[in-house]
Structure formats: structure tokens, C-alpha cells
Chains A and B, each alone.
Chain A
Amino acid sequence: MTLNAAITGVGMSDIGRKTNRPAILHLAEAVKRALDCAGLTKDDIDGISTYPGKADNSPGMSPLGTGEVRNALGLKTRWHSAVPDGPSQMAPIQVAAMAVATGQARHVLCFRALTESSSQTATRRASIPGAGRARLGGWYSYLVPANAMSASNWAGWMAQRYFHEFGMTREHLGLVATGQRAFAQKNPSAVMRTPLTMDEYLGARMISSPLGLFDCDVPIDGACVVIVSAADAAKDCAKAPLTIEAMGAALGSQETWDQRTDLTTMGAHDSAADMWKRTDLKPADVDMLALYDGFSIFVPYWLEALGFCGHGEAKDFIAEGNIGPGGRFPVNTGGGQLSGGRLHGFGLLHEACMQLWGQADGRQVADAKVAACGMGGGFIAGSMLLRRD
């Protein structure tokens, strides 16, 4: 099966910590690089898609809306979408794929821009839901006022239960973190490139047990763009189109992080199952993986959700060396968000595309043709298989 949609270009700005560079400048740089990658001009872009849309109450977390990007870059778009509720950080890609498949647009500019690092002060963190609001509503009003303010806490609950049921230890998560750091050392655009040993990992300060500092992704400033094109329009682009083979989405449990019946699974399991139903490809056909790693614990969850190993078996799968440099199923070969920086999944997609185009210098997976991508944590998730023919 094949969707009538492909990725034709990706671009990432120079990312960093405390750049104090306005978001629109990061984005303009990423857009230019994506257009160059695809062999398109700005006049070819007729759609624009982002997640979650401009968030005025959360400084730096989502500083740009679709309209102001259109204005600032002089785009001639007619279709646009911003998706705060949807299949995770992959939502803008999935929505764009549907837009081009239904003829509403030819080339959609999907973007994520953050100035989270510059916006973070001693008293203000953009990542705290509802930060700065006098009174909270919604699902997180049952968590944040109880001092369960951070996704670190919510992911900590998952990890603790998973450790309890399946005997995973911090050393297993350490293999995720150190493995991705080893990849990052070969990626000039990653923000954390010094070697990370298991001892340093285990000795780092605890954030929310059993998750320590190196289990958490790194807030940064930067932008990343993915261009999604209609299949026929993609043929005219500079690079071989990366066909979207299948997608999956899920809101398969209550919309909160603490009420899912089995917290050793997450929305990933629902979206991945949906995705595999729509393709003849199997996990054995996959050459590399792009898995959302807001926290290291998400990686084993995604590996199990996508069927690379059974439920409860990820610790052994990881310990056998499958996901690090040289492994059969390398995960987050650019360093992931743990070492590369948090672009809400877009950086992971950027890396997957570079691998499929054979342009992941110094860390290239030989003859990579199929990438499995999974975004999201907790109850939200989106999955996608990308294929280079």
C-alpha cells in the first residue's frame, strides 16, 4: 500500500542553547534549506502546517503561527493547518499528507520552531502546562496542582511501573542515552557531542526517579521544516521522493497520562498497530528508526509498540546492541533529542530523511530504504513508515 504523499525536502536551522535569536529567523533559515533540498522555490509552497500553533501563554514553546509565517516569508499558501490536538508532534505531517492526497495542496511546508532555551529563566519554564495561568482547566488540572508539573514526572510513573513489571534497570536506559550520544558525536548539528559514559549517566542528578538528567531531552532554540508533496508533484523535485507508505494515529485511552489502564504501554501501541494494518511491510523490512525520545523510557516503549520485540523484552533487545551504532535497527542516528536537542520530533524526521537519501555523513546506515517513525508520549502518538524506492 502507498499513500499519495511523499516527503521531498527537509531543512534544519543552526540550533543551539540560549541563542537569543528570534524564532522567525531560525525558521527562515530552515525553510531556505528545505527548499534547496527539494529543489523548490517559495512560490511552489501552497500549504503550511504546524503543531501546535502559536501558544502565547507558553513562552518559547510554540512562538510562531501559520499566518505570521506566511506573512513574514511572503508565501502564497491557500491551505493551512495548526494542530494542538492530534496524533502527536507528527500531526502536521499527517494532516499535510491528507491535504496533498486530497488535492488541497501540492507542496506543504510543515514546521516546528522553538525558542524554549532562550525563554527559560529561573522562574519560568515553558514546558510546564498552563504556566503563568491563575487557574487551570483540562486534563492537566488533575496533575499540575498536585505538583506533578512536568512530563518528567508523568514519564517517571511509566518507567517505575515498567521497571517493576519487567525488571528493567537504569543501566538499560543508560544504553539508550549513551548509544544516542555516540551517534551525536558523528552529527555536527547535535547540541550534546561530548562522550557520555555509563558511569556519568548513572552519576548524574536525579530529575524524577527513575529518570535522571540524561534521560531527559534538551531544550533548545531552533526550527525544522519538512516538505510534504503530492506524489505526482514530488516527481519533479531534486531528490528521490520518500513515499509515505502508511500512517497510524491514536487516542486510544483517556486523555490523561495517569489513567491509562496499563502504564507499561502508551498511545504508541495503538498508533503502531493501526499503521501496520495498512502495509505489507514488516519490522524486518525496516533499516532505521526515528523514535520520540522526550525521555529515554519512550524508546523501549516504541520498540515494543512497533513490534521490534515483544512486550517486556525491550531491555534485552537494547542490551543485545540492536539500537546503537552498528546495530541491526539503529534508533535516532543523529543523537535523538536526548543529545541532539528537542525539536518535538521534527529533528528525528530530518535525520530519517537524510538517512534514506544517503546523506547522513559519518553515521550513514548502509543502503537505508525504509524508516519507521514514531512520535509522541503518554496518550498521544503518531506513526509513519517512509520508503525510498
Chain B
Amino acid sequence: MRPLPELTPENTAFWTGGAQGELIIAFCGDCDHAIHPPQLVCPKCWSEAVEFKTVPGTGTVYTYTVNHQPWMPDMPVPFALAVVDLDGAPGVRVTAEVVNTDPETVRIGQAVRVTFANVDDVWFPQWEPAQ
């Protein structure tokens, strides 16, 4: 059973946007800086006018790994984990499992799009090939 994140004012939009099929990222309302992991103050200008905005949900694989080790007893392996540079949120990467493809085919530079997996009150972003 995978551990779940505790939901907080700064991260609830990120973890629950998937209920509407949306990937939601925190942005500064004053200077438009994209903030991830999300927080309630802009690290660039210290504005508290943080907004949560839907981004396209597409991106490019910056790096990845294929995990072969079952870290928990019920963990199916192998699976790929990708760190993805996000379209529409400069400087932000979202790290997630890659699904709906052979893990061994994942490559740096690959275009991916988001999909979600729901567990309890959390919608995990996951990546799948964009084409």
C-alpha cells in the first residue's frame, strides 16, 4: 500500500485537481513565478497572493529511472519513474510514474501527458506517452 501525502492548504489543489482531470500548479499572483513543490508564499517576491492554475498537463522527460526493486511487499515491478519538465510552468518538474507503456521504452526528451490514479482523496499525477 503506497503512503499518501497529507493534504494541506498549499498542496490540496495539486493532489486533487485530477478529480476534474486537471494538473494544477501554484503560481505567484504578483510576479507569475511558478512554485513547486507548492507553497503559500512566493519564494521570488514573498507575495502571499499565491494562485492555483491549471496547466496543459504535458511536458518533456528530463530524466527517468526504471525501478526493479519491490520496496514494499505488494509493489509490482518493473515500472518507470520520470522527472518531467512541465509545459506552462517554467522551472517546474513533476515527478511521477510512467504508465500505459513498456517502462524500457521511456527516454529523455520524450513527450508525455498527464493522467491520474485515484487513491482515497488523492489523485496521483502519472505520465503516459503523448503520442
B-binding residues in A (CB < 8 A): 122-123, 125, 128, 130, 133-137, 139, 141-150, 152-153, 156-161, 164, 205-211, 256, 258-259, 261, 263
Alpha-carbon distance A125/B68, docked complex (angstroms) = 16
Q: A208–B68 contact, CB under 8 A?
A: yes
CA gap between A268 and B5 in the complex, in Å: 29
Q: Which of B24-32, B48-56, B73-81 contacts A (4 or more CB under 8 A)?
A: B73-81
Residues of chain B touching chain A, judged by Cβ–Cβ distance below 8 Å, are 2-6, 8, 11, 36-37, 62-69, 71-73, 75, 78-79, 81, 83, 91-93, 95-97, 108, 122, 124-125
**B62 touching A263 by the CB < 8 A rule?**
yes
Please count the residue pairs between chain A and chain B whose beta carbons lie under 8 angstroms apart in the complex: 110
Within the assembled complex, what's the spacing in Å between the Cα atoms of A304 and B89? Answer: 31
Q: Is the CB of A157 within 8 A of B63?
A: yes
- Asked whether A147 lies within 8 Å of B2 as measured between CB atoms, the reply is yes
Q: Return B72 CB to nearest CB of chain A, in Å.
A: 7
| Interchain CB contact (< 8 A) of B68 among A133, A159, A209 | A209
Whether the Cβ atoms of B5 and A148 lie closer than 8 Å is: no
Which chain B residues lie closer than 8 Å to A159 at the CB level? Answer: 65
Contacting pair A152 B69 (CB below 8 A)? yes
Q: Is the CB of B65 within 8 A of A156?
A: yes
User: Chain B residues with Cβ under 8 A from A157's Cβ?
Assistant: 63-65, 81, 83
Q: Report the minimal beta-carbon distance from B41 to chain A, rounded to whole angstroms.
A: 14
Known interface pairs A142-B95, A209-B66, A258-B95; A164-B6 also in contact (CB < 8 Å): no
CB distance from A43 to the nearest CB of B (A): 45
28 A–B contacts from the bound complex (CB under 8 Å): A123-B72, A123-B73, A128-B71, A134-B4, A135-B4, A137-B5, A139-B37, A141-B5, A142-B95, A143-B95, A146-B81, A146-B95, A146-B96, A146-B124, A146-B125, A147-B97, A148-B67, A148-B81, A149-B71, A150-B71, A153-B65, A159-B65, A207-B68, A208-B67, A209-B65, A209-B68, A210-B65, A263-B83
List the B residue with the shortest CB-CB distance to A130.
Answer: B3
In the assembled complex, the CB of B80 is this many whole angstroms from the nearest CB of chain A, namely: 9
Min distance, Cβ A83 to any Cβ of chain B, angstroms: 23
- Minimum-distance CB pairs A-B, first 4: A156-B65, A135-B6, A161-B63, A141-B5
Query: Which of B79, B108, B125 is A161 in contact with, Cβ under 8 Å?
Result: B108
Q: How far is the CB of B73 from chain A (nearest CB, A)?
A: 5
A388 smallest CB distance to B (angstroms)? 41
A206 touches B63 (CB 8 A): no
B65 in contact with A160 (CB, 8 Å):
yes
Complexed CA–CA distance, A338 and B36 (Å): 34
Interchain nearest-CB distance for B88 vs A (Å): 17
Give the residue of B37, B68, B72 whose beta carbon is less than 8 angstroms from that of A206.
B68
Cβ distance A12 to chain B, nearest Cβ, rounded Å? 28
**B65: nearest residue on chain A (CB-CB)?**
A156
Given A133-B3, A161-B108: A148 and B95 interface contact (C-beta under 8 Å):
yes
A153 touches B67 (CB 8 A): yes
